[in-house]
Structure 1
Amino acid sequence: MLAEPAPALSDLALGLVVVALAVRLGRVPAPHRHWRTAFWWAGIAALAGSVHHGLIKYSERWSGPSWAVISAMVVVAVSYLLAATVAEVLGPRHGRTFWLLRSIGIGAYAVLAATGHAGVGALLACESLTMVCILALWGLAARRRHPMAGPVILALAASAGAAAAKAIDPSVTRGVALDPTSVYHLAQIVGMVLLYLAVSNPRRPEPEPRALLG
């Protein structure tokens, strides 16, 4: 019996879809490899989340460390999402810009940690600052009429809407035998599919930028 059946199964569905999309991106010559890496990390994090909700939640000892590891995976996925965005919007030689923007979320978390507010929740909250940077860059891309801007912004908006599902009152989702976390997982599938369609769009700029991460 799963500890949290609905979150475990919905996270499994999300993970399988995102990993499948990562595999498909590997067969498309156009997307920058940072996109593929972001999908791989996001998919693996979701699969790990399924194990966490289904099995590890039974253990008080390992539940906290497990969630911390999954959160770190999400941080890595967001890092590659930012790296891909910088490469697409600003061009191949903006590694310093990537690290400058990346330091915003990391710096915010460092401040919280120094004031005794460290934790997984704080870490993920600080990652929202990185997502704001990503959206701002794509807003700039839209002004420059970048062909990927509209589809990517739509995908990011769908993902943000999915995240908002966590705030839904459980009594609202109980009618469909789900909880807010499960609704978030399932809604996030839509965002990831839209992002896949955006980055595999043949209207993308042709040159492949240099790597911004390792």
Structure 2
Amino acid sequence: MLAEPAAALSDLALGLVVVALAVRLGRAPAVHRYWRTSFWWAGIAALAGFVHHGVIKYSDQWSGPSWAVISGMVVVTVSYLLAATVAEVLGPRHARTFWVLRSVGIAAYVVLAVTGHAGVGALLTCESLTMVSILALWGWAAWRRHPMAGPVIIALAASGAAAAAKAIDPSVTRRVALDPTSVYHLAQIVGMVLLYLAISARRPNPPSVRPA
């Protein structure tokens, strides 16, 4: 018997779909390796979430550390998503730009840690700053008419909307035998599929958007 059946099974579904998409991206040599890596980490994190919600939630001792590990996987996923974005939008020789943008979320978390507000929740909140950087880059790319910008922005918006599902009143999701977390997992599948389509449907050699 699973500790949290709906959350566990929906995370399993998300993980299987994302891993399958990662495998398919591996067969597309034109796709930057950072995209593939971000999908692999996202899929592994979701599969780990299945174990967390299904089994580890029974243990008060291990539930916290387990969630911390999964949160770390999410951080790695977002890092590769930013790296892929920098490579696509600015070009492959902008490692310094990546680290400048990546340091925003890290610095914010360091400040929270120093002031006594460290924790998994704070870490994930700071990662939202990195996502803002990613969206800003793709917004700039759209203004410069990058061919991937529109589809990627739609996919990221869908993922953001999925995250908002966590704020739904449980009494609403209970009508369909789900909880806000499981709704989030299922909705996130849509966002990941849209991102996969945005990446895989790219032009063979799309021009990078470089500063004028």
TM tier, smaller: over 0.9
- 1:40-51 to structure 2, matched below 5 A, reads 40-51=40-51
Secondary structure of the 1:117 match is coil
Structure 2 counterpart of 1:164: 164
Which residue number in structure 1 is paired with residue 197 of structure 2?
A: 197
- After TM superposition, the structure 1 = structure 2 runs for residues 132-171 of structure 1, keeping only pairs within 5 Å, are 132-171=132-171
Please give the root-mean-square deviation of Cα atoms over the aligned residues, in Å.
1.1
Aligned to 2:12: 12
Alpha-carbon distance in 1 for matches of 2:23, 2:206: 21
Whether 1:185 and 2:212 are equivalent positions in the alignment is no
Code of the residue aligned with 1:66 in structure 2: it is S
What amino acid is aligned across from residue 23 of structure 2 in structure 1?
A: V
* Gapped regions of structure 1 (runs ≥ 5): 209-214
**In structure 2, C-alpha distance between the alignment counterparts of 1:101 and 1:131, rounded to whole Å:** 10
Asked if the contact 2:146–2:207 (Cα under 8 Å) also holds between the matched residues in 1, the reply is no
User: 1:3·1:57 contact (CA, 8 Å) conserved in 2?
Assistant: yes
Mapped to 2, the partners of 1:197 and 1:175 lie a distance apart of 32
For 2:18 and 2:207, locate their aligned partners in 1 and report how far apart those are by CA, in whole Å: 25
Query: Among the aligned pairs, what percent are the same residue?
Result: 85
Q: 1:30 touches 1:206 (CA, 8 Å); kept in 2?
A: no
Question: Secondary structure of 1:150's match?
Answer: helix
Report whether the alignment pairs 1:84 with 2:110.
Answer: no
Q: Distance in 2 between matches of 1:200 and 1:2?
A: 36
Q: Give the structure-1-normalised TM-score.
A: 0.95
1:29, distance to aligned residue in structure 2 (A) = 1.5
User: Is contact 1:147–1:204 with CA below 8 Å preserved after alignment?
Assistant: no
CA contact (8 A) 1:31 1:199 kept: yes
Q: CA distance change for structure 1 residues 110 and 21 in 2, over 3 Å: closer, same or farther?
A: same
Question: Runs of 4 or more off by more than 2 Å in structure 1?
Answer: 204-208
Question: Residue 22 of structure 1 contacts residue 39 of structure 1 at CA under 8 Å; is this kept in 2?
Answer: yes
1:202: how far off? Answer: 3.5
For the residue of structure 1 that corresponds to 2:86, the secondary structure is: helix
Aligned residue type for 1:28? A
Match of 1:56 in 2: 56
Instruction: After TM superposition, give the deviation of residue 206 of structure 1 in Å.
Output: 4.9
Amino acid at match of 1:62: W
Name the count of aligned residue pairs.
Answer: 208
Normalising by structure 2, we get a TM-score of 0.96
Contact 2:147–2:202, Cα closer than 8 Å, also in 1: no
How far the C-alpha of 1:207 sits from its partner, in A, is 7.8
